[in-house]
Amino acid sequence: AQSVTQPDIHITVSEGASLELRCNYSYGATPYLFWYVQSPGQGLQLLLKYFSGDTLVQGIKGFEAEFKRSQSSFNLRKPSVHWSDAAEYFCAVGSTGFQKLVFGTGTRLLVSP
Amino acid sequence: EPEVTQTPSHQVTQMGQEVILRCVPISNHLYFYWYRQILGQKVEFLVSFYNNEISEKSEIFDDQFSVERPDGSNFTLKIRSTKLEDSAMYFCASTPFSTDTQYFGPGTRLTVL
């Protein structure tokens, strides 16, 4: 069965600093990978996705993620964090036939002035 | 841009009561999903629905739960006899193809007293 690990529960970054959120997955085949963001009291917004092709994918709000098959990772990055990026970030993997998403436990990002 | 909508945004009910959570998926989408997120925990898959039948369900989705697409636009989740542990945020999602991005609604927060 597929699984997703986000090892960092909380991360605090200074505004303007770079950000990397870690995600490791377990899945037997080529995975469909996603990053979603959830602001307080809000739903899940898709940041970016990887299905195939170029392993570096660009998303909304200046985010990018790199798929590394050898490390089973799909880390999310942003070169310069803004205060509005404070939210919870979820990595997810799509299963065979893509009938469901399996989510990680999330990483809460705090942005300090 | 089309969005998934959910009503109500917050539902409070007494233990043992029936609740129906409503979702309006994006109009040309064919696959529908319910997920839940207990406070402070990760998002969990409940059920997927296609062509008027359940295509996959999780262990959480027991006989107390049911889903229905009563007309061409609504997708509902019914909990027959709510328990305290059903308190959670319930998210609806939809996608045009089973291997495409799932778009999430804003969620319904269910509180069981």
For B8-27, what is each residue's pLDDT tens digit? 999 999 999 999 999 999 99
For A71-89, what is each residue's pLDDT tens digit? 999 999 999 999 999 999 9
Tell me which H or E stretch contains A64. Answer: strand A64-68
Q: CB of A42 within 8 Å of any CB in chain B?
A: yes
Residues of chain A with C-beta less than 8 angstroms from the C-beta of B98: 97-99
Residues of chain B with C-beta less than 8 angstroms from the C-beta of A42: 106-107
Tokens 């200046």 sit at which residue? Answer: A62
Nearest CB neighbour to A100, from listed B48, B91, B105: B48
CA dihedral A104, B103, A48, A13 (to 10 degrees): -60
A59 vs A48: CA distance, rounded Å: 4
Bin A41: left if φ > 0, else alpha if -120 < ψ < 50, else beta.
left
| 8 A C-beta contact, residue B104 and residue A44 | yes
| 8 A C-beta contact, residue B20 and residue B28 | no
For residue B46, what are its two tokens?
Answer: 């409940």
Mean predicted confidence (pLDDT) in A78-104: 89
CA dihedral A14, A20, A21, A26 (to 10 degrees): -170
